[in-house]
Amino acid sequence: MPPRPTKRLLPATVLLLLGLLWLPAPAPAGVFDPETFTLDNGLQVVVVPNHRVPVVSHMMWYKVGSADEPKGKAGIAHFLEHLMFKGTATRGPGEFSRIINRVGGSENAFTSYDYTAYYQNVAKEQLGRMMALEADRMANLKLAPADVESEREVILEERRSRTDNDPASQFGEQVTAATYLAYPYRLPVIGWENEMRGLSHDDAVDFYRTWYAPNNAVLVVAGDVTTEEVRRLAAETYGVIPSRPVPDRAALRGQEPPQLAARRLEMASPRVDQPSWSRRWLAPGVIWGDTTQAAPLEVLAEILGGGTTSRLYRALVVEAGIAVSAGAGYSPGGLGPQTFAVYASPRDGVEPAALEAAVEAEVTRLLRDGVTDEEVASAIIRMKRQAVFVRDDMLAPARLFGEAIVAGGGIADVEEWPERIAAVTAVRIAAAAKAVLVPETSVTAVLRPKPAS
């Protein structure tokens, strides 16, 4: 079985990279021109034709992630993702993956706060087979208690290697937990170790039966296909699975209460070589809060910290010479509260406090003076150039549309992105910055080396 990455909330020092997931279109709207339909059982299907090469990406997205887990069961969504490869009533453990390997395909799966997804990249003539395999495990997953026990050890080892052995990842969990007072984004996708150890066979089966239904899923097929082909194959495979009621995710998650006090976290570890400083603020997204601020915040992140020409990089790295890196990050996709972040790492001999003062000076200047029309125009051009390569990735449109829909949006969130970004003005950015960059919702984080005793 191939490794399956877990999408975890990364430390603030790399939040900028997450924004690229929501840079879907480099040219006029309609660049992907998808078609969509819904089967009688509620399964939404999105087709993105691309006939350049005879391959397809087949992605099944479920509208459930770690933020939908029962209290005390942190990590069950990711655990079930692993267990979905253990076999069905008609196929043994690992058979799914062996079939894909035999036909020369590739596969993977991932879990996030708002969704869980499974995909295969195969030759176009294998599409029907992929649909049959995926439909089988949507409806007929079979979990032996022994498989659950062994796979629990796998996810615990994954946590040890990816989080517990990495001070930056450990600190990132602490910062995220402090960022949200109540909203379940505060819990790590992989889970807390003490709760992971208690995840049982019954927990996995209950979670599967609660959420894995066709009416709670989105199928995206991108590549050398037609909508007619996909409609026929989907009806023959997924269409025979009955729908069933699923919980109201918004009701289960609850609301984030008003935040009234700034928070600050510091951590020192002998395994840290390079200090880092960051600050994040609670921010609206494309679903949560004042959604009109999402596009201005995207452009602001580019102006403030989107590369070597950004304000923070020029001020701290080039001009003052006190930092080795500096930037900003914002990703608007998701059902719940998002974050806007700035970050920097000091040069040798520079204290994080000096770096913090320099970043704060740039944020103060932004709030006082705003940004220029020239900065906005330049940032929009750069953003579209950064996004252009997504068109050459066969998997990219399948991921972009799937992520947008299962995280509460729709096809328009991808197709109309150029117009939304082009409509951003300096006035709108100034208003969004003043609304979001307030002390009460901020979390400042300092990670520093600790001399070994």
Question: What does the domain layout of the chain look like in residue ranges?
Answer: 34-253, 263-449
Q: Is the pLDDT of residue 25 over 80?
A: no
Residue 415: its pLDDT value, please? 87
- CATH class for domain 34-253? alpha beta
| Verdict on whether the full-model pTM lies above 0.85 | yes
Q: Which residues have C-beta within 8 Å of that of residue 286, sequence separation ≥ 6?
A: 22, 294, 332, 333, 334, 408, 409, 413
* Residue 320: band (very low, low, confident or very high) from pLDDT cuts 50, 70, 90: very high
Identify which of 184, 244, 250, 254 has the alpha carbon closest to the alpha carbon of residue 210. 244
Residue 31: its pLDDT value, please? 62
Once rounded to an integer, what is the mean pLDDT over residues 433-437? 98
Sequence-ordered strand ranges (E) for 235-294:
263-269, 276-283
Q: Using DSSP bridges, classify how beta strands 217-223 and 55-62 pair: parallel, antiparallel or unpaired.
A: antiparallel
Q: Is the pLDDT of residue 329 over 90?
A: yes
pLDDT in tens, 173-218: 999 999 999 999 999 999 999 999 999 999 999 999 999 999 999 9
Once rounded to an integer, what is the mean pLDDT over residues 333-346? 97
* Helix ranges restricted to H, 91-184: 95-102, 127-139, 145-159, 167-179
* Residue 364: band (very low, low, confident or very high) from pLDDT cuts 50, 70, 90: very high
Q: Is the pLDDT of residue 2 over 60?
A: no
Residue 384: its pLDDT value, please? 83
Q: For the purposes of burial, counting CB atoms within 10 Å of the CB of 19, is it exposed (0-12), middle (13-18) or buried (19 or more)?
A: buried
Least confident of 26-35, 316-325, 435-444: 26-35
Residue 449: its pLDDT value, please? 95
Q: Is the pLDDT of residue 260 over 70?
A: yes
The span from the CA of 368 to the CA of 362, in Å, is 10
Query: Domain 263-449 classified CATH 3.30.830.10?
Result: yes
Q: Is the pLDDT of residue 12 over 60?
A: no
Identify which of 221, 225, 209 has the alpha carbon closest to the alpha carbon of residue 140. 209
Residue 24: its pLDDT value, please? 36
Average pLDDT in the chain: 91
Q: Is the pLDDT of residue 451 over 90?
A: no
* Equal fold, 34-253 vs 263-449: yes
Q: For the purposes of burial, counting CB atoms within 10 Å of the CB of 67, is it exposed (0-12), middle (13-18) or buried (19 or more)?
A: buried
Once rounded to an integer, what is the mean pLDDT over residues 103-128? 97
The span from the CA of 276 to the CA of 11, in Å, is 10
Once rounded to an integer, what is the mean pLDDT over residues 19-31? 42
Q: Is the pLDDT of residue 6 over 90?
A: no
pLDDT in tens, 369-384: 999 999 999 999 988 8
* Residue 391: band (very low, low, confident or very high) from pLDDT cuts 50, 70, 90: low
Exposed e or buried b for every residue in 89-127, given b needs 16+ CB within 10 A?
eebebeebbebbeeeebebebbbbbbbbbbbbbbebebb
Residue 148: its pLDDT value, please? 96
Q: For the purposes of burial, counting CB atoms within 10 Å of the CB of 286, is it exposed (0-12), middle (13-18) or buried (19 or more)?
A: buried
The residues that are catalytic are 81
* Residue 14: band (very low, low, confident or very high) from pLDDT cuts 50, 70, 90: very low
Q: Is the pLDDT of residue 253 over 70?
A: yes
Q: Is the pLDDT of residue 389 over 80?
A: no
pLDDT in tens, 411-430: 988 888 888 999 999 999 99
Once rounded to an integer, what is the mean pLDDT over residues 139-165? 96
Identify which of 141, 142, 131 has the alpha carbon closest to the alpha carbon of residue 39. 131
